[in-house]
C-alpha cells in the first residue's frame, strides 16, 4: 500500500485542486467572456477595486494596529471598542478592528461576497446621460473606484460605531450596509452571494483544519445569539438600504418587484439572525425574544419592499410644491425607514454621552499604566450602572462577576473574563494597551470542590510582569458530610488552603494535607490522595473535597 509522507498536506491539496478543476471545466463549457464583458462595463479593469482597497485597509488595521502580525489569534481588543463619545480612539477604530482572527475572516469573506454587488450598482463609470468618464473628479473611474467608494465605506463605518449601542467592535455593520445597498437593486443575487460566502468560509476552514476530530467533553459557552451586535447590524443594513433607494431613484432605472425585494430582505435577515433580539440578566444569563424578533424582520422586509418598488409620483396629483402631498411615494418609504433608523440609533446617543462608572474597584487590583485589572463577584456592572431603566420585566442595571478591566482615562469598564469562563479554563489572559503598546495580565484560579455542595472554595491570582498578587478568595465552604459530629470546612488563605473542624463549642483549624502527609484536627485524620481529600475517624472514611480540574 502506498504510504504518503506526513509532511505532504494531501487534504489541503485535494481541496485546492477540486476548486481549480471545477473552474477550469466551467471555463471550457461556459462562455466566461460574457461575464468579463459585463464586469468591464461597470468596473475599472473589470475588478471591484474599491472592495479590494476596503479589505486591505481592514486587514492592515488588524495586523499592525491590533498587533495581529505577531499575535494572529489574540489581538489587542479592549482599547479599540466604541466605549463612549468621550473616547475618540474607540469611536474611530471600532468598525475597523476585530476581536479575533475568526471575527476578521468572517467579515472579510462577507465583504468580498457582498461589497462587489454594491460597488457594481454604484459603478466606476458614470451613468448620467451626456457625462464622460474623465469629465470631473466625481466621474473619473479611478477616483470612483479607489477614493470615493472606500471613502463611503469609511463613512458608513464611522456611522455604525457612532450610533451603535454598547462597546461594539468589528466591520460587520459595514458588511450589512453592503448587503442593504445590494438588496435594493439585486435582492436575489445578494442572497446568492451571501450563500456563496458560506462556500468561501467552508473552503477557508477546510484549508485551516482539513480534519476535525471531536470527542464528547464539557464546554463553556454563552448562547450564540448573545454574541451578536444585533442593533449594529440592523442600523448598518438600514444605512445601506436608504443609500441604495436614493441611488436607484436618482438614476430612475429598473427596480425589482415588491415580492422579490421582500423575499430577498427576509431571507437575508433570517439567515443573518437579525431576529435574535436579546437582553442579559447578570453575568451569564440571557433572554431571547424570538417571536418579537421574527415579527420585526418581517415588518422590516415589508417596509423595504414597498419603498424600493414605490413610484416616483407625488402622493396627490397637482399638489402645491413644497406641501406634504407633493412628496413622492418612495420618499414616504424613505421617511419611514429614517424613523425606524432613528428609533434604533436614538438610544445610542444618550448611552454614548455617558462614560463608565468611576467608582473604585473592589479588592486588590493590578495597575498597567491607565488600566486597573481586578477580580470581583456580584458587583454592579460599571458600564450599565449609569442607567436604571426597567421595561418588560428587564432592567439595565445588572451585577457581574469575573476579571474586571477599568480605565478612567478611556472611560472603559468591562468584564473581560466571566467567573464561569475562568472556572472552566482555570487561567485566562487579558490584553490591555493602546496605539503602539500592549501588556497582558493573566488571571489564575485554583480551588477545591467541597463534597455534598457542588460549591468550590477558591482563590484568584493576577499575574503581571512576572509578579503575582492575590485578588480574591471565597468565604469558607462547609462540606455536607458530618464526621463524628464535627463539621468540616475548606478555607482559602493567602498561602494555600486550611481545613476547619468545628463542634458546638470550639473550632480547630489547620493546613490542607498534601500528598503522603496527613493532618489531624479535633481527632479527625485528613489524608490527600491525588486530587481527593478524605476524613478518617475510627474506621470511617469520607471524602470531603476534590481539587478543581480545568479544561
DSSP, residue by residue, 461-482: EEEETTEEEEEEEPPPEEEEEE
Determine the Cα–Cα distance for residues 424 and 427; give it in Å rounded to an integer. Answer: 9
pLDDT of 410 above 60: yes
> C-alpha grid cell for residue 405?
478591566
pLDDT of residue 81: 94
Measured CA angle at 516 (ends 511, 521), to 5 deg: 35
pLDDT of 551 above 90: no
Contact (Cβ atoms closer than 8 angstroms) between residue 274 and residue 234: yes
**Does residue 407 fall inside a structural domain?**
no
Determine the Cα–Cα distance for residues 311 and 336; give it in Å rounded to an integer. Answer: 15
Contact (Cβ atoms closer than 8 angstroms) between residue 500 and residue 507: yes
User: Domain containing 258: what range?
Assistant: 10-212+223-352
**Mean pLDDT, range 401-430, rounded to an integer:** 92
pLDDT of residue 256: 82
**Does residue 21 fall inside a structural domain?**
yes
DSSP element (H, E) containing 288: strand 286-288
C-alpha pair distances (Å), 461 with each of 249, 441, 447, 494? 61, 10, 11, 10
Which stretches within 277-388 are classed as H helix?
290-309, 329-345, 348-352
Residue 204 confidence class, pLDDT cut points 50, 70, 90: confident
**Does residue 499 fall inside a structural domain?**
no
> C-alpha grid cell for residue 471?
485578588
Q: Radius of gyration of the chain from Cα atoms? A: 30
Weakest-pLDDT range from 201-210, 223-232, 312-321, 367-376: 312-321
Residue 497 confidence class, pLDDT cut points 50, 70, 90: very high
pLDDT of residue 1: 44
pLDDT of 366 above 50: yes
**Does residue 528 fall inside a structural domain?**
no
pLDDT for 95-144, tens place per residue?
999 999 999 999 999 999 999 999 998 888 876 554 556 667 778 899 99
**Does residue 464 fall inside a structural domain?**
no
**Does residue 153 fall inside a structural domain?**
yes
Measured CA angle at 96 (ends 234, 91), to 5 deg: 80
Torsion of CA 357, 358, 359, 363, to 10 degrees: 110
Which of 238, 120, 109, 126 shows the shortest CA–CA distance to 173? 238
Weakest-pLDDT range from 33-47, 101-115, 210-224: 210-224
pLDDT for 331-340, tens place per residue?
888 888 999 9
**Residues, the chain:** 551
Residue 472 confidence class, pLDDT cut points 50, 70, 90: very high
Rounded to two decimals, the pTM is 0.85
Determine the Cα–Cα distance for residues 355 and 433; give it in Å rounded to an integer. Answer: 19
C-alpha pair distances (Å), 201 with each of 27, 105, 173, 187, 197? 23, 8, 19, 21, 6
pLDDT of residue 32: 62
Weakest-pLDDT range from 233-237, 317-321, 441-445, 543-547: 317-321
How many domains is the chain partitioned into structurally?
A: 1
**Mean pLDDT, range 459-475, rounded to an integer:** 94
**Does residue 126 fall inside a structural domain?**
yes
Determine the Cα–Cα distance for residues 326 and 47; give it in Å rounded to an integer. Answer: 41
**Mean pLDDT, range 459-479, rounded to an integer:** 94
pLDDT of residue 2: 43
CB under 8 Å to 239, separation ≥6 — which residues? 156, 159, 160, 177, 180, 341
CB under 8 Å to 474, separation ≥6 — which residues? 447, 456, 457, 458, 459, 492
**Does residue 171 fall inside a structural domain?**
yes
Helix, strand or coil for residue 281? coil
pLDDT of residue 248: 82
Amino acid at each position: 500500500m502506498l504510504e504518503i509522507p506526513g509532511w505532504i498536506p494531501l487534504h489541503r491539496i485535494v481541496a485546492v485542486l477540486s476548486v481549480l478543476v471545477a473552474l477550469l471545466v466551467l471555463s471550457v463549457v461556459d462562455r466566461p467572456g460574457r461575464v468579463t464583458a459585463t464586469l468591464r462595463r461597470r468596473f475599472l479593469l473589470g475588478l471591484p477595486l474599491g472592495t479590494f482597497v476596503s479589505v486591505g485597509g481592514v486587514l492592515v488595521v488588524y495586523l499592525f494596529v491590533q498587533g495581529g502580525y505577531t499575535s494572529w489569534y489574540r489581538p489587542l481588543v479592549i482599547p479599540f471598542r466604541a466605549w463612549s463619545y468621550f473616547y475618540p480612539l474607540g469611536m474611530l477604530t471600532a468598525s475597523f478592528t476585530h476581536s479575533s482572527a475568526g471575527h476578521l475572516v468572517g467579515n472579510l469573506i462577507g465583504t468580498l461576497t457582498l461589497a462587489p454587488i454594491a460597488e457594481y450598482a454604484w459603478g466606476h463609470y458614470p451613468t448620467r446621460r451626456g457625462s464622460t468618464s474623465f469629465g470631473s473628479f466625481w466621474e473619473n473611474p479611478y477616483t470612483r473606484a479607489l477614493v470615493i467608494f472606500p471613502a463611503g465605506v469609511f463613512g458608513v463605518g464611522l456611522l455604525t460605531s457612532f450610533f451603535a449601542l454598547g462597546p461594539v467592535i468589528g466591520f460587520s455593520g459595514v458588511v450589512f450596509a453592503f448587503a442593504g445597498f445590494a438588496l435594493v437593486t439585486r435582492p436575489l443575487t445578494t442572497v446568492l452571494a451571501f450563500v456563496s460566502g458560506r462556500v468561501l468560509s467552508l473552503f477557508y476552514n477546510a484549508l485551516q483544519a482539513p480534519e476535525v476530530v471531536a470527542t464528547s467533553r464539557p464546554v463553556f459557552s454563552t448562547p450564540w445569539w448573545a454574541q451578536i451586535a444585533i442593533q449594529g447590524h440592523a442600523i448598518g443594513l438600514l444605512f445601506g438600504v436608504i443609500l441604495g433607494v436614493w441611488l436607484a431613484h436618482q438614476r430612475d432605472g429598473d427596480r425589482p418587484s415588491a415580492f422579490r425585494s421582500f423575499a430577498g430582505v427576509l431571507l437575508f435577515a433570517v439567515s443573518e439572525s437579525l431576529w435574535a433580539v436579546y437582553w442579559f440578566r447578570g453575568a451569564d444569563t440571557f433572554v431571547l425574544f424570538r417571536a418579537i424578533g421574527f415579527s420585526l424582520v418581517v415588518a422590516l422586509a415589508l417596509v423595504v419592499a414597498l419603498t424600493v418598488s414605490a413610484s416616483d409620483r407625488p402622493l396627490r396629483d397637482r399638489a402645491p410644491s413644497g406641501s406634504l402631498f407633493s412628496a413622492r411615494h418612495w420618499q414616504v418609504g424613505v421617511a419611514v425607514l429614517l424613523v425606524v433608523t432613528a428609533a434604533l440609533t436614538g438610544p445610542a446617543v444618550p448611552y454614548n454621552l455617558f462614560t463608565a462608572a468611576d467608582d473604585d474597584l473592589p479588592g486588590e487590583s493590578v495597575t498597567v499604566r491607565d488600566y486597573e485589572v481586578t477580580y470581583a463577584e456580584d458587583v454592579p456592572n460599571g458600564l450599565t450602572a449609569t442607567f436604571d431603566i426597567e421595561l418588560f420585566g428587564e432592567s439595565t442595571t445588572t451585577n457581574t462577576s469575573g476579571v474586571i478591566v477599568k480605565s478612567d482615562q478611556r472611560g472603559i469598564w468591562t468584564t473581560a473574563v466571566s467567573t464561569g469562563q475562568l472556572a472552566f479554563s482555570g487561567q485566562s489572559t487579558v490584553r490591555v494597551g493602546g496605539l503602539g503598546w500592549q501588556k497582558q495580565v493573566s488571571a489564575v484560579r485554583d480551588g477545591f470542590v467541597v463534597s455534598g455542595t457542588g460549591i468550590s472554595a477558591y482563590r484568584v491570582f493576577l499575574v503581571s510582569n512576572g509578579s503575582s498578587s492575590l485578588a480574591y478568595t471565597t468565604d469558607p465552604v462547609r462540606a455536607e458530610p458530618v464526621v463524628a459530629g464535627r463539621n468540616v470546612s475548606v478555607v482559602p488563605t493567602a498561602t494555600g488552603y486550611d481545613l476547619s473542624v468545628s463542634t458546638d463549642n470550639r473550632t480547630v483549624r489547620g493546613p490542607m494535607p498534601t500528598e503522603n502527609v496527613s493532618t489531624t484536627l479535633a481527632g479527625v485524620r485528613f489524608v490527600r490522595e491525588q486530587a481527593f481529600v478524605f476524613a478518617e475517624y475510627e474506621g470511617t472514611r469520607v471524602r470531603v473535597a476534590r481539587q478543581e480540574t480545568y479544561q
